[in-house]
Every structure is written in structure tokens, then in C-alpha cells.
Amino acid sequence: DIVMTQTPLSLSVTPGQPASISCKSSQSLLRSDGKTHLYWYLQKPGQSPQLLIYVVSSRFSGVPDRFSGSGSGTDFTLKISRVEAEDVGVYYCMQGAHLPYSFGQGTKLEIK
């Protein structure tokens, strides 16, 4: 099974400042369709997870453009250009390249 490793596990950011989360997979997430199947989800406090980013860098419907994803192969990054209060929660990367799907440990974002 593929292991997903996120760093850092927690992050405290001043509103308006950028934030960055790293995610590494134990195997390449590149599939035969030429796409890399890495996803980012955000679980806000007391809520179910919600999809932010799919196939590395595509923002899901309604996701603000301050969120961006990048990376390739086994190394990926989620960036928030200017953190807002509503961005608090736990961010998870997930690989959808190979069953069983697997998530990272999560990165908790707090506001300073």
C-alpha cells in the first residue's frame, strides 16, 4: 500500500500570510492517463472533509484561487497565498492512483 507523509503536522499562520504544506508518497502517483492522482481535502472543525484540489493542481468547484497545488511524481505541495480565518482545519493529501486509497496524517492549520 502507498504511504502518504505530510509535513508539517501543524501550522500557525497570521491572517494574510502564506502557508505551505508538503506531501510525499511512497510511490509515484502518475497513471497511464498521464495524470498524477493526488488530491487535497480540508476538514473544517466539526465538519466532514471537503475536496479542494484534484489531480495535483485543479481546484474543485467553488474553491478560492488563493489555494493552489503543485508537484509531480512523489512530491507535492499545497499553498495558500493569503490565509484567511475560514481556512482553519485539518488538510489531508490523498492518493487516488492505486487502490487502496490512502491519506496523509493531516496538517492542522491554526490562525495566530
Would you count residue 85 as binding another protein (CB under 8 A)?
no
Report the nearest approach of another protein to the CB of residue 96 (Å): 5
Report the nearest approach of another protein to the CB of residue 15 (Å): 26
Q: Look at residues 6, 2, 59, 64 and name the one whose alpha carbon lies nearest to residue 30.
A: 2
Rounded to whole angstroms, the Cα distance separating 6 from 51 reads 17
Q: Look at residues 79, 66, 75, 39 and name the one whose alpha carbon lies nearest to residue 55.
A: 39
Would you count residue 32 as binding another protein (CB under 8 A)?
yes
Lookup result for grid cell 467553488: 62
Would you count residue 57 as binding another protein (CB under 8 A)?
no
Residues at the interface with another protein (CB under 8 A): 1, 31-33, 35, 37, 39, 41, 43, 48-51, 54-55, 60, 92, 94, 96, 99-106
